Amino acid sequence: MSLKGKKFHIHTFGCQMNENDSEHVAGMLSSRGAHSSPSPELSDIVIINTCAVREKSEEKFFSLLGRLESIKKKKNLVIGAIGCIAQLYKSQLRDKKSSIDFIVGPNNYDKIPDIITHYWEEKITCTQWNRGWKEFSPSDIQRKNPTSGYVTIMRGCNNFCSYCIVPFTRGRERYRPMDYIIQEVHKLADQGYKEIQLLGQNVNSYRDPSTGRDFASLLEEVDRIPNIEWIRFLTSHPKNFTPRLAHTMKKSRKICRQLHLPLQSGSTSVLKRMNRKYSRENYLKLVGILKDLMKGISLSTDIIVGYPGETEDEFQQTLSLLNTVKYTNIFSFRYSPRPLTPASKLPDSVPFETKKKRLIKLQNEQKKIQIEKNKSFIGKTLKVLCLGRSKKDSSIYSGRNEGYQVVNFQSSSDVVGQFVPVKITQCGPYSLFGESVD
Ligand code: SAH
Ligand code: SF4
Ligand code: F3S
């Protein structure tokens, strides 16, 4: 099937790495003459970029697939499954889901245009691993946002946290050559991007493949690129967060005073069982260093409740840590056993109801913290990067402050893509509201 003039739709589940991968795939298809379409119903090709991190992410994929199958009964539709579920369940998907025409794992996206053009009728499964870095379509990225750009700096993960499927779906760490990263950031700056987000499952372990220069050196290089005003990065594993990195952040005027630092649990014994390789004390020490170096730094985190064997006391340790750190935002999950992981071999011993109660308790505690924190912004004027208009009301603009909080605001002129001073007038637990003051 020639791609020329065909319409494609990509639905992305999962993390920012998947989002950026989808932007690359969209770019590759567009450069072969296809056009992106807003809905599966209007498309010739639908690609689902999947996530396998929790059972729920799998369920979401199968439910979307069901919807696409009913569309496929009425019209010609090529369906592709890519991403982490594709890598994990390659043969099961091929044998049991006849509606899927091609299955491509995260290391083989460069082959998608050729698969659609030449081979999809043979039901291709393409899930080979590769050792070194493989550059996908450096020049053909179709980005979702014209102001803030994702830049992938590494793929894979070597950490094998006991609950996590990512090392099995994405493979071992491969680092992108620093030159390519720098070139991409220069290009974004030339295109008018104001913010970049460097992406990897564990950015702190980055090493340039030829020179061995580390993540802090990469940040120093990126910091020198003119016109990019805000730099963010994720995800940082606390065990690899060096004091040198904290000082690099402090020295830079562009690196935002904001950090996503996944905790997972506030209990040292649970962290040990999770194979996280830091203790509650190490984590709190790191938070202390960051807060001392950068006043007002905004921290966010990921937390899992109900890990096998988690006692009430261990859960309380997580709960109490929230009040010590006072995160700006948390992402919290019920533990979900995943295939191939060491934790999935343990009995999933915390009852579902207990996991549910713990999650609600944690989220309520955090909500109180966020309400308190957000109230303290009322009356202050914050620098906000306007990323678009609010989805609910197009007369309202939406952006993020340096701390990566959502700020919705009114403005008399079109400020999309610009930095705007916004005076905060109201707040909720999850966002701030205000008016532009220029
Ligand atoms: N590389 C990142 C995050 C990867 S997955 C890191 O190291 O932090 C994103 C989040 O999903 C994790 O931080 C964890 O909180 C959650 N997660 C991963 N596996 C999970 C599982 N089996 N059950 C519940 N949550 C899980
Ligand atoms: Fe998963 Fe741990 Fe790797 Fe993060 S660091 S992707 S949680 S194995
Ligand atoms: Fe999900 Fe794969 Fe990302 S499992 S979180 S899409 S690396």
Q: What is the pLDDT of residues 324-355, one digit of tens each?
A: 999 999 999 999 999 999 999 999 999 999 99
Question: Which of the residue ranges 9-23, 89-103, 341-355 would you say has the lowest mean pLDDT?
Answer: 89-103
Fold of 381-436: OB fold (Dihydrolipoamide Acetyltransferase, E2P) (2.40.50)
Q: What is the mean pLDDT of residues 62-89?
A: 96
User: Could you tell me if 423 and 404 are in contact, meaning their C-beta atoms sit under 8 angstroms apart?
Assistant: no
Which protein residues touch ligand 3 with a CB less than 6 Å away?
14-15, 17-18, 51-53, 83-84, 165-166, 169-170
pLDDT at residue 296 in the model: 95
Q: Cα separation of 93 and 97, whole Å? A: 5
Determine the residue of 158, 159, 174, 205 to mutate for testing ligand 2's pocket, defined as the one with the most ligand atoms within 8 A of the Cβ atom: 159
Domain with CATH 2.40.50.110 in the chain: 381-436
Q: How confident is the model at residue 395 (pLDDT cuts 50, 70, 90)?
A: confident
Which ranges constitute the DSSP H helices of 32-54? none
| Structure confidence at residue 120 (pLDDT) | 73
| Predicted pLDDT at 198 | 98
- Minimal-distance CA residue to ligand 1 atom 19: 164
* 304 touches ligand 2 (CB under 6 Å): no
Binding site membership of 164 for ligand 2 (Cβ less than 6 Å): yes
Tell me how far apart the alpha carbons of residues 93 and 221 are, in angstroms, rounded to a whole number.
43
Residues of the chain with CATH 3.80.30.20: 138-370
Contact 262 CB / ligand 1 (< 6 Å): yes
Choosing among 3.90.1150.10, 3.40.50.450, 3.40.50.12160, 3.40.50.970, the CATH entry for 7-126 is 3.40.50.12160
Token pair in block for residue 212:
């061995």
Ligand closest to Cα of 53 equals: 3
168 lines ligand 1 (CB under 6 A): no
| Top-confidence residue, 169 or 138 | 169
For the CA of 348, the nearest ligand: 1
Structure tokens at 405: 């909080």
Whole-number average pLDDT of the chain = 96
Task: Quick: pLDDT tens for 237-275.
Answer: 999 999 999 999 999 999 999 999 999 999 999 999 999
Cite the residue boundaries of each domain of the chain with CATH code 3.40.50.12160.
7-126
For residue 136, the model assigns a pLDDT of 82
- CB count within 10 Å of CB 197 equals 19
| pTM of the predicted protein model | 0.97
Query: What DSSP assignment string belongs to 228-286?
Result: --EEEEE---GGG--HHHHHHHHH-SSB-SEEE---B-S-HHHHHHTT----HHHHHHH
CATH number of this structure's domain 138-370, picked from the four choices 3.40.50.970, 3.40.190.10, 3.80.30.20, 3.30.70.260: 3.80.30.20
pLDDT tens readout for residues 274-330: 999 999 999 999 999 999 999 999 999 999 999 999 999 999 999 999 999 999 999
Q: Which atom of ligand 2 is nearest to the CA of 237?
A: 5
Residue 408 near residue 425 (C-beta atoms within 8 A): no
pLDDT, position 391: 78
Residue (of 240, 261, 20, 293) closest to 144 by Cα position: 20
The closest ligand to the CA of 15 turns out to be 3
Q: With a cut of 80, say whether residue 121 has pLDDT above it.
A: no
Mark residue 222 as left, alpha or beta (left: phi above 0; alpha: psi -120 to 50; beta: remaining): alpha
Which bound ligand lies closest to the C-alpha atom of 16?
3
* φ, ψ dihedrals at 174, nearest 5°: -130, 135
Mean pLDDT of 121-140: 83
Span 384-391, mean pLDDT?
Answer: 93
Q: What percent of the chain has pLDDT over 90?
A: 95
Ligand 2 near 328 CB (within 6 A): no
Q: Are strands 419-427 and 381-389 parallel, antiparallel or unpaired?
A: antiparallel
The atom number, within ligand 3, closest to the CA of 170 reads: 7
Percent with pLDDT over 70 in the chain = 99
Other beta carbons within 10 angstroms of residue 366's beta carbon come to: 22
The number of angstroms, rounded, from the C-alpha of 335 to the middle of its chain's C-alpha atoms is 19
